[in-house]
Amino acid sequence: MQNAGLTDVSPNEHFAAWQGDDGVEKLVEVTRGSLVESEHWGSIAVADAAGNLLAWSGEPEGVTFYRSSAKPIQAIPVITSGAAARFSLTEAELAIICASHSGEETHVAVVGALLAKLGLSADALLCGVHPPFHKPSAQAIWQQGQKPGPLHCNCSGKHSGMLAICVHNDWSLANYLDIDHPLQQMLLRTMQDYHAYENIAVGVDGCGVPVYALPLSEMAKGYARLVDPDRLPAEVASAAHTLVHAMITHPSLVAGSERLDTILMEATGGRLVSKGGAEGVQCIGWQDKGIGIAIKIADGAARAIEPVAIEVLQQLGVLSEPELEVLATRHRVPIKNHRRDIVGELRPVFKLHGLGSRREPVVDR
């Protein structure tokens, strides 16, 4: 895959910031009994919509792939192109376009309904196939003697949104994954313009589409702009507002049962918009303050995300005591053996730089 007009920066140059004494910091310890058995290191960036770095840990300028955290931004052209209006897409359908869903029955139904509006079937999806993340849903498929299909793929909503743009513009559906396809060129331009950042490297995501690499601080700025879009062109700002509203109105569609994104949005009554990505990436927008948060676990371990995310929110003063109580077992995550005995925990061990000793919100607006 070529970078198609983007600056070509070597992987070594991109990822050098994650290495050495000035790179990642220890974020999580994994205990067993009284000993620390494992550690997870990484970086965190907290920024406002102007790109001001407000707090950090590790190397906030380290470059990594957005992965699925980019989905709400990739969804903007579904609205600005006119496709959402033409096909009368509902808020639920816009939420599923932003989702990494668990393949539950509701998720599959919403994606299927969206495709029907486009006059397409699941055969048009090029996202690949995997079993539902939701174990009961996966078990139900096997028990019925069936196999998972493209609708169960966690990225089927995003791909359906891409197909909506293609159908609307009468673009080829057969090769919509290709970097040279007008759809992917549109999405790259959207990503560059949205962040006001040109130096984007491109790889291939798990579902086959191009995936973008930016500094962690730019990703934090991107999520600040989702919840504070005034600096964006009016049409883009309106689309961002619409997508955030869809996500917080339908949090169960954005992820699913027992998933962090869904639980965070539900627990905070929609004050937070949250979207995780593969390889230890998590992005959060704080609507009350117009702040974005981006997290990268250096070893890609998904298990470290929950304690880090909740600890960041606690240090920033985002969460109330009742909210912290709801999220307590995700903040310090119990480790259980096969007998269901608690034998250790995952615990956050970092302190954000830039906050001093304060526990109040990082900015006043």
How many CA atoms lie within 13 Å of 329's alpha carbon, on the beta-carbon side?
8
Q: Which residues, other chains included, contact 17 with Cβ-Cβ below 8 Å and sequence gap of 6+?
A: 23, 59, 61, 62, 63
DSSP per residue, 260-328: HHHHHHHHTTTSEEEEEETTTEEEEEETTTTEEEEEEETT--GGGHHHHHHHHHHHHT---HHHHHHTH
| pLDDT surpasses 60 at 175 | yes
Which pLDDT score is estimated for 353?
96
| pLDDT surpasses 60 at 278 | yes
Which pLDDT score is estimated for 318?
97
Domains annotated on the chain, with CATH:
11-348 (3.40.710)
Span 322-329, average pLDDT: 96
Cβ pair 188, 32 in contact under 8 A: no
> Which one, of 115, 44, 69, 113, lies nearest residue 247 by Cα?
69
The DSSP bridge pattern shows strands 25-32 and 35-48 to be antiparallel
Helix, strand or coil for residue 225?
helix
| pLDDT surpasses 60 at 359 | no
Which pLDDT score is estimated for 22?
54
Instruction: For residues 157 and 275, give the distance between their C-alpha atoms in angstroms, rounded to a whole number.
Output: 14
Which residues lie across from 294 on neighbouring strands? 45, 283
pLDDT band at 6 (very low <50, low <70, confident <90, very high): very low
Per-residue pLDDT tens digits for 256-274: 999 999 999 999 999 999 9
Which residues lie across from 177 on neighbouring strands? none
Span 211-238, average pLDDT: 97
Lookup result for tokens 């609507």: 287
Which pLDDT score is estimated for 53?
97
pLDDT band at 12 (very low <50, low <70, confident <90, very high): very low
Instruction: For residues 310 and 216, give the distance between their C-alpha atoms in angstroms, rounded to a whole number.
Output: 18
pLDDT band at 363 (very low <50, low <70, confident <90, very high): very low
| pLDDT surpasses 60 at 15 | no
- Overall size of the chain counted in residues: 365
Instruction: For residues 218 and 294, give the distance between their C-alpha atoms in angstroms, rounded to a whole number.
Output: 9
Which pLDDT score is estimated for 357?
39
pLDDT band at 356 (very low <50, low <70, confident <90, very high): low
Instruction: For residues 13 and 271, give the distance between their C-alpha atoms in angstroms, rounded to a whole number.
Output: 37
Kindly report the average pLDDT of the chain as a whole number. 92
Which pLDDT score is estimated for 1?
34
Helix, strand or coil for residue 346?
strand
Span 216-230, average pLDDT: 98
pLDDT band at 7 (very low <50, low <70, confident <90, very high): very low
The DSSP bridge pattern shows strands 210-215 and 53-57 to be unpaired
Which pLDDT score is estimated for 355?
83
Listed range (71-85, 286-300, 325-339, 345-359) with the worst mean pLDDT: 345-359
DSSP per residue, 16-81: GGGSSTTS-EEEEEEEETTEEEEEEEEEEEEEETT--EEEEES-TT-EEE-GGGGHHHHTHHHHHT
| pLDDT surpasses 60 at 28 | yes
Span 314-341, average pLDDT: 96
| pLDDT surpasses 80 at 11 | no
Distances (CA, A) of 46 to 29, 43, 173, 217: 22, 10, 38, 7
